Amino acid sequence: MSMRQLPFDNLRVLDFGWVWAGAVVGQILGDMGAEVIKVESRRRLDPARQGRPIVGDVPDPEQNPLFHNVNRGKLSTTLDLTHPRSRPLVKRLIEISDILVENMTPEGIEKLSLDYERVKEINPSIIMLSYPVAGSYGPFRNIRGYAPTATSLSGIDSLVGYPGEPALGMGGFYGDPNVGLHGAVSVLSALWHRKKTGEGQYIDLSMWEAAVCTIGEAIMEYTMNGRILGSQGNVSINAAPSGVYPCKGDDKWICIVVKTEEEWNNLCQAMENPSWANEERFSDLYQRVQNQEALNELMSQWTIHYDHYELAESLQQKGVAATPCLNTEDRFLDQRFNERENYVFVEHPVLGSEPVYGIPYKLSETPGQVKERAPLMGEHNDYVFGELLRLSPEEIEKLKQNKVIY
C-alpha cells in the first residue's frame, strides 16, 4: 500500500473498549492514522483474548482471531484499573488523549471512576463515547451482553426464520460492527464540532438502539398499522422469483431476484422457456408474488443442475440479478471478490501470516491502511508509560512488580 497521508495522524484515542463491539471504533480511527492506546489487564482478560486457541490446545491470549481483527494496529498497555496506584497513570492518559471510548456496563465504569463526570474534570475537551448494551441510563442500563443480545432485544432476531416458524435469530454478530460504525459516526461528528469550537462532550450510545435504527420500517409497520412482523424467510413483497436456490454440490446456493418483466423474460429464456413458465399463475409480478412458493419449487428443480458460480455468471449475462452465496471458503478463494481487499495479510509473532479484514470504504485520496498486526499483551507498556508518560524504567519496573502494570 502506498504511503499516503492519514487523516488522523495527530489524534490519540484511549481505548477501554473490549470484546468485539468496544474495539471497533478504535479500529476504524486507527486504520485512518490515529494512535490508539488499548488499556487491558490480565486481571480481567478481554474475552476477545480468550476462547479456543487457533494452534494447539493450550489457552493463549495471543491466538484469538477476533482480537487480531478488531485490535490491529493498536498499542497495548496492561493496567489493573482496580489497583489504586493505577489512577495517576489513567489520569495522565486521559490528559493526553483526544477521544476516550469504552463499552463497560455503567456500574462497571462508575466503579472504576471512569464515568464522564470524572473524566471531564481531568480533561474537559476530551470526547468520551460510552456504548454499553443499553446505553448509560434507564431502568435496565446495566444489561450485559454480546452482539446476539442486541439483536434479541432489538427485534431483529424475531425477523430471522422460515415463514410461519419460530425465530432462529440473526446469523453472524451483527450487533457488534453495527454499533461500532454508529459509534464512529458520533465520534467523528463530535470531533468536527470540537475542531470548530474547542468543546469536548459526552456521547451515550446504545448497542440495542443502534440495532433498532436499522429496522425502522418494521417499527413503523407496528406504529402505523399495529402489525407485528415475524420470521421473514426469503420472501419478498415486490419480487418473484426471489430467493436462495440450491445448486450442484454440497451446500451450494444461488440467490436470484427478479423484479421487472424484462428480467422475468430473460430468466425464462435462460431456462429455455419451460412450459410451466407460461402458466397463468406466473403471468405477471402480482401472480408470481402470490404463487411464489410453487415458483420457488420449480426454480429449485432447475438450479440444482448447475454450479452456483457458473449459473450466476450466465444469468447475469442475460440481465438477471443472480449471485452465488459465498461461504467462508468461497470468500477466501474468490479472486474476483477479493480484488477489493476484503482481507489483507499481516505477520503475527504467534500465528505467523494471517488475514485480517480490510477497509470497505475506498477513499481515493486518504484510503487509510491496516498499519500493523494486533499487539501482544502489554507490548507497548514501555513506549506508553516511558515515552508518553515519562516514567523512568525503574518506576515502570516497580509498577510491574506491584501488579499495577499487569
Partner 1 sequence: MAEQALSGVKVVECGSMVSAAYAAKLLADLGAEVVKIEQPGSGDEARSYGPFPGDIPHPERSGLFLYLNANKLGITLNLKTKSGRDIMHQLLNEADILVENHHPKEAKESGLDYDTLKEVNKDLIMLSISPFGQKCGYSDYKGYEANCNALGGITMYAGEPNREPLNPPLFLGSYQAGVAGAVACLIAMHARDLIGHGQHIDLAKVDNWGSFHLGIPLVEYVFGRRIWQRYGRRAIGGPYPQTILGCKDGDFRLIAMTKLEWRRFLKIMDNPAWGDDLRFQDRIKMQQLYADELDSLIEPWLKKHTKQGLFQMFYDGKVPFTPIKNIEDVVNDPHLSARDFFVQIDHPEAGRLECPGSPYKFSKTPPTIKRPAPLLGEQNEKIYCERLGYSRKELLRLRRTGVI
Q: Cβ closer to partner 1: 35 or 204?
A: 204
- Least Å distance, CB 309 to partner 1, is 11
Q: How many CB atoms lie within 10 A of CB 141?
A: 16
The binding track of 272-301 with respect to partner 1, each residue x by CB under 8 A or -, is ------------------------------
Q: Cβ closer to partner 1: 173 or 302?
A: 173
Q: Which stretch binds partner 1 (CB under 8 A): 198-206, 275-283, 381-389, 395-403?
A: 198-206
- Least Å distance, CB 237 to partner 1, is 8
By CB under 8 A, what part of segment 231-260 binds partner 1? 232-234, 236, 238-239, 242-246, 251, 253-255, 257, 259
Distance CA 2, CA 368 (A): 10
The binding track of 21-60 with respect to partner 1, each residue x by CB under 8 A or -, is ---x---x---x--------------x--xxx-xx-----
- Only one residue has cell 430471522, namely 160
Distance CA 291, CA 181 (A): 39
Distance CA 231, CA 101 (A): 35
User: CA 149 → CA 207, 208, 229, 346, 351, distances in Å?
Assistant: 9, 8, 19, 31, 31
- Only one residue has cell 442500563, namely 141
- Least Å distance, CB 307 to partner 1, is 15
Q: Which stretch binds partner 1 (CB under 8 A): 74-82, 267-275, 286-294, 352-360?
A: 352-360
Smallest CA-to-CA distance from 13 within 100, 94, 90, 140 is with: 100
- Least Å distance, CB 222 to partner 1, is 5
What the block records as the C-alpha cell of 143 is: 444489561
Q: Cβ closer to partner 1: 363 or 376?
A: 363
Residue 175's SS3 state is helix
Q: Are 144 and 47 in contact (CB under 8 A)?
A: no
- Least Å distance, CB 278 to partner 1, is 24
Q: How many CB atoms lie within 10 A of CB 88?
A: 12
User: CA 269 → CA 68, 258, 275, 288, 318, distances in Å?
Assistant: 48, 13, 11, 17, 9
Q: Cβ closer to partner 1: 275 or 335?
A: 335
- Least Å distance, CB 2 to partner 1, is 14
Give 178's contacts (C-beta < 8 A, 6+ positions apart).
150, 207, 210, 211, 214
What the block records as the C-alpha cell of 22 is: 468496544
Which of 198, 272, 275, 361 is in the footprint of partner 1 by CB under 8 A? Answer: 361
Distance CA 374, CA 347 (A): 10
Q: Cβ closer to partner 1: 373 or 380?
A: 373
Q: Cβ closer to partner 1: 70 or 391?
A: 70
Which of 1, 42, 113, 181 is in the footprint of partner 1 by CB under 8 A? Answer: 181
- Least Å distance, CB 301 to partner 1, is 14
Which of 38, 68, 373, 380 is in the footprint of partner 1 by CB under 8 A? Answer: 68
Q: Is 66 in the site for partner 1 (CB under 8 A)?
A: yes
Q: Which stretch binds partner 1 (CB under 8 A): 73-81, 274-282, 356-364, 392-400?
A: 356-364
By CB under 8 A, what part of segment 201-230 binds partner 1? 201-206, 208-210, 212-225, 227-230
By CB under 8 A, what part of segment 89-148 binds partner 1? 116, 134-135, 137-146, 148
Give the interface size with partner 1 as a residue count (CB under 8 A).
154
Rg (CA), the chain: 25
Distance CA 117, CA 365 (A): 39
Distance CA 310, CA 304 (A): 12
Residue at 238: amino acid letter: N
Task: Tell me if the bond preceding 375 is cis, omega within 30° of 0.
Answer: no
Q: Are 173 and 146 in contact (CB under 8 A)?
A: yes
Q: Cβ closer to partner 1: 84 or 137?
A: 137
By CB under 8 A, what part of segment 155-174 binds partner 1? 155-162, 166-174
Q: Cβ closer to partner 1: 122 or 255?
A: 255
- Least Å distance, CB 8 to partner 1, is 7
